[in-house]
Structure 1
Amino acid sequence: MIDDISIRSAESEDAKELLKIYAYYVTDTAISFETEVPSEEEFKLRIEEVLKSYPFIVACKDDEILGYAYLHSFVGRKAYELSAETTIYLNPDKKKMGIGKKLYSVLEDIAKAQNITNLYSCIGYVDKEDEYLNNNSAQFHEHIGFRMVGKFENCGHKFGRWYHMVWMEKIIGEHKEIKEFLKYSNIKSF
């Protein structure tokens, strides 16, 4: 199954299909702390904004989009430009099939080509699982080499409940002097 999955760059025309995946995480889970599903136009703009400097990739089998992942600015200050935050969402019916690992592998290769050294992920977290959130995302990130570096107690409120948020980090490059940050548009192969 995983060998049949291809990875390609997202296009703004994918917004409708990608939004279908993301909407579930907004309306039915506390995985996203967003409380309202963005419009298709807003989601399209988000994709286009990411693609100006970072990869936004999708996993496909035939013509079906199974999930997506992207990098985006970490904190948004110049000194952080060699660090990036990761985001990943899979079709809820396509989990535990190796798709997330494949997406992250490609994302990391692109990040390395951009001279990014540190990857971060902001993840909803619970002490006790409920119907809206478990710690599978943190466990997945740990499995692929991320480590927990911080926890914010009860900082997200959704579905009438309080949820924690954790930061996880993965060092993927050597910390040396870099003269130029490579924009995603300069990275063509993955």
Structure 2
Amino acid sequence: MFIRTFEQTDYPVVKAIYQQGIDTGNATFQMTAKSWDEWNNSMLIHSRIVAVEDDHILGWAALSPISNREVYSGVAEVSIYVEASSQGKGVGQKLLSKLILESENNNIWMLQAAIFPENIGSLTLHQNNGFRQIGVREKLGKMNNVWRDVVLIERRSKVIGVSGN
């Protein structure tokens, strides 16, 4: 398995993996995968990666800006999805490790995510990569007529945005 830069031609597979995550009911409030234009416009142009094995995409990761304001240009939200049959095999770990490096190479000093508390695998993955819980947003939104909480987590770079940088 190796990690490479995302290419637009990867999007049909990326979209299918995204939809698998959506279908679990514990990955996102999104109900259907975004179109190419919606996805492309919502993600930063850099730090888009895929995990590949034998020419098969196993998962993807990308960053989205949290705001268009210049002061927040070093802060991004993490999206990471691994196809169901590849979960538990280290794909998420490889993707997140590479995403952190890519983010720092692009002057991102803080990564954040909002994860459903039921998504233990994602919470563990992020915590194992230096993310810390900063709070819980209770009843943030309704999904299938049920109020859902999200756990807010963040990771601050030790090399970007520190004193002297």
Which TM-score applies when normalising by structure 1?
0.77
The whole-number CA distance in structure 2 between the counterparts of 1:149 and 1:76 is 23
User: Which of structures 1 and 2 has the larger relative contact order (alpha carbons within 8 angstroms, sep 6+)?
Assistant: 1
Provide structure 1 residue ranges, at least 5 long, that are not aligned to the other structure.
126-132, 179-190
Question: Does structure 1 conserve the Cα–Cα contact (< 8 Å) formed by 2:3 and 2:50?
Answer: yes
Contact 2:51 2:91 survives alignment (8 Å): yes
Asked if the contact 2:97–2:129 (Cα under 8 Å) also holds between the matched residues in 1, the reply is: no
* 2:6 aligned with 1:13: no
Deviates more, 1:155-164 or 1:93-102: 155-164
Rate the CA distance shift 1:37–1:105 in 2: closer, same or farther, 3 A.
closer
Q: Which residue of 1 aligns with 2:121?
A: 136
Matches within 5 A, 1:88-167: 88-125=80-117, 133-167=118-152
**One-letter amino acid matched to 1:47:** N
Aligned twin of 1:175: 162
Amino acid at match of 1:157: K
Q: Which runs of 5+ in 2 are unaligned?
A: none
TM-superposed CA distance for 1:116, in Å, is: 1.7
The DSSP-based 3-state class of the residue aligned with 2:116 is strand
Match of 2:39 in 1: 46
Q: Secondary structure at the match of 1:20?
A: helix
95 and 75 in structure 1: CA distance in 2 versus 1, 3 angstrom threshold: same
- Aligned residue number for residue 62 of structure 1: 54
What is the rounded CA distance, in whole Å, between the counterparts of 2:77 and 2:107 in structure 1?
14
Q: Single out whichever of 156-165 and 102-111 deviates more from structure 2.
A: 156-165
Q: CA deviation at 1:74?
A: 2.1
**How many percent identity over aligned positions?**
28
Against the structure 1 CA distance between its residues 109 and 145, is the aligned structure 2 distance closer, same or farther, given a 3 Å change threshold?
same
Q: CA deviation at 1:43?
A: 2.7
CA RMSD of aligned residues (A): 1.9
Deviation by residue 1:61-92 (Cα, 9 ceiling, x = unmatched): 01100000011212332101112111100001
1:109 match: secondary structure = helix
TM-score by length of 2: 0.88
Check the 8 A contact 1:150/1:166 in 2, yes or no: yes
> Runs of 4+ in structure 1 displaced over 4 angstroms?
none
| Contact 2:42 2:64 (8 Å CA) reproduced | no
Partner Cα distance (1:118, 1:37) in 2: 26
